[in-house]
Amino acid sequence: MIGIIDYGMGNLGSVTNAFRFLELDAKIVARKNEMDDCRALILPGVGAFGDCMSHLVEHDFVDPIKDWVAAGKPLMGICLGLQALFESSEESPGVEGLGIFSGTVNKFDLPKELKVPQIGWNRMKETKPDCPMFAGVDDAAFFYLVHSYYVCPEDASIVAGTTEYGIEYCSAAWKDNVFATQFHPEKSQAAGLRVLCDFWNWAEAR
């Protein structure tokens, strides 16, 4: 069973529907005690970094998520769920992130011809072809993105995939039991569904 964390900010419907389409067991987790019977967790997110962290605190998910990761259990972040794994964001100065990954979240500063937010399809170049979440996914496959901010990891070794939009930035991160994407796999058709299925298989193997 995969738990999809409901902290009041997240694309729960489309993520749940993607797992239903794949015929894989997933449930909404609205309270920390509901994590107990889950093999893996997904942290989705849509909106602002500060609001995300405020809602995680309000719903008492911050320490349980940190404890989950520390225990070596699989966690996947999606979009804002990736950004929340970092220490801070230019979007919300003074607000602490989960700090699972070292680094910051910066705002795009791009030429006028490139619109911010980036909305639409773009390629992801795999920088870690051995990442289990890329099994059966073509290198430079297209994924769907909606974001104005991008993550800047201090440790380059966690960068599993990059995307170019005026700059080359980290669009997927992976370290130990934590995997996260800036793109929305649940909205990325066959390639995205493959990533979700791979995450399921990886979590089951662990």
User: Domain with 40 in it: what CATH number?
Assistant: 3.40.50.880
**Cα 5 to Cα 78: distance, rounded to the nearest angstrom:** 11
pLDDT of 178 reads: 98
186 given a catalytic annotation: yes
Round to whole Å and give the CA distance between 7 and 174. 23
Distance CA 175, CA 159 (A): 9
Is 38 designated active site? Answer: no
Residue range of the domain that includes 134:
2-205
With residue 26 as reference, give the H or E element that holds it.
strand 26-29
Return the pLDDT at 106: 98
Mean pLDDT of 161-170: 98
Catalytic residue among 38, 52, 147, 186: 186
Q: What percent of the chain has pLDDT over 90?
A: 95
pLDDT band of residue 111 (cuts 50, 70, 90) is: very high
Quote the pLDDT of residue 9: 82
pLDDT band at 153 (very low <50, low <70, confident <90, very high): very high
Q: Is the pLDDT of residue 154 over 80?
A: yes
Q: What is the mean pLDDT of residues 165-188?
A: 98
In this prediction, residue 59 carries a pLDDT of 95
Supply the pLDDT for residue 206. 81
Q: Total structural domains in the chain?
A: 1
Where are the extended beta strands (E) located within the chain?
A: 2-5, 26-29, 40-43, 75-78, 88-89, 103-107, 118-126, 141-147, 149-153, 159-165, 167-175, 178-181
| Residue of 79, 131, 170, 197 marked active site | 79
One-letter amino acid of 206: R
Q: What is the mean pLDDT of residues 21-29?
A: 95
Task: Tell me if residue 147 is catalytic.
Answer: no
Q: How far apart, in whole angstroms, are the C-alpha atoms of residue 158 and residue 173?
A: 5
pLDDT band for position 109 (50/70/90)? very high
Determine which one of 38, 170, 184, 197 is catalytic.
184
Q: How many CB atoms lie within 10 A of CB 36?
A: 8
Kindly report, residue by residue over 78-106, the tens digit of the pLDDT. 999 999 999 999 999 999 999 999 999 99
